[in-house]
Amino acid sequence: MSFETLRIIAAVILLLCAAVNLVRRHWVLNVAVLALQYVCVFLIILEVRTPLLAAIKLIVGLMVSLMVYLILRTSGLIDSLFSRQRLTSGEVFRGTIALLLVLISHLAAPKVKLSIFPQSSELLLTASMGLMLFGLFQMGTITEPLYLVIGMLTFLSGFELLYASLEFSRVLEAFFTAINLLLALVGSFFIVKDVESRAG
């Protein structure tokens, strides 16, 4: 299998991960898929970053996923991954939206490359636009702290991918790293506050 084929598979899995986090409300699954999403970002960003710099993003992403998982675990919010949950009408609606977002990202990438970002590959543009669209839609439609955090992290991953294809700045790379960690910390705080308010 060539590296280009691996990157295409990673892009497909990446958009599928973002779709799962938008559609399903299963916390163990959502955190696991978030971690997988960062692995796919790592494979795609290798196109424009050295393995060392790409690995930093992977490590930060896995740390963020672990932080969110641990706060859910200590708060007693983790349910079984294999528990049966029927699809709701809201999930069917969000699934339809997810298909539309993937289609928009795929169809818009060639035009965006041609007119705005000629130095970026279509694959990278499809992945970055898809993540940003999924993140924005998730932040705009869901009020639960966990899903807001996942939406923000998804949007930021897409923005980082797009920016990485344009230029390299050590300061901004460090800034993105700090923002990811801060989002996880702040999100963890609000998850705990939400649990406490429900218990009270």
Which residue, 142, 148, 170, 173, is CA-closest to 159? 173
> Token digits for 161?
């991918």
Q: Does the residue 86 lie in any domain?
A: no
Q: What pLDDT score was predicted for residue 160?
A: 92
**Statement: residue 80 has pLDDT above 60:** no
Average pLDDT, rounded, for the chain: 87
Query: Cβ(188)–Cβ(71) under 8 Å?
Result: yes
27 compared with 55, residue with greater pLDDT: 55
User: For residue 131, is it within any domain?
Assistant: yes
Looking at the structure of the chain, the number of domains it has is 1
Q: Does the residue 35 lie in any domain?
A: yes
Whether residue 14 lies inside any domain: the answer is: yes
Q: Is residue 82 part of a domain?
A: no
Greater confidence (150 vs 26) lies with 150
Q: Determine the pLDDT at residue 188.
A: 83
Better pLDDT: 178 or 74: 178
Higher pLDDT, 51 or 84: 51
For 39-77, the pLDDT digits (tens) are: 999 999 998 888 998 999 999 999 999 998 888 888 766
What is the rounded average pLDDT of the residues 184-199? 78
Cβ atoms of 121 and 85 within 8 Å: the answer is no
Decide if 99 is inside a domain: no
Look at residue 61 and tell me if it is in a domain. Answer: yes
Does any domain span residue 94?
no
DSSP states of 15-30 as a string? HHHHHHHHH---HHHH
What whole-number distance in Å separates Cα of residue 125 and Cα of residue 72? 33
Give residue 133's domain range: 3-77+116-199
Q: Which amino acid is at 23?
A: V
Most confident of 93-97, 110-114, 130-134: 130-134
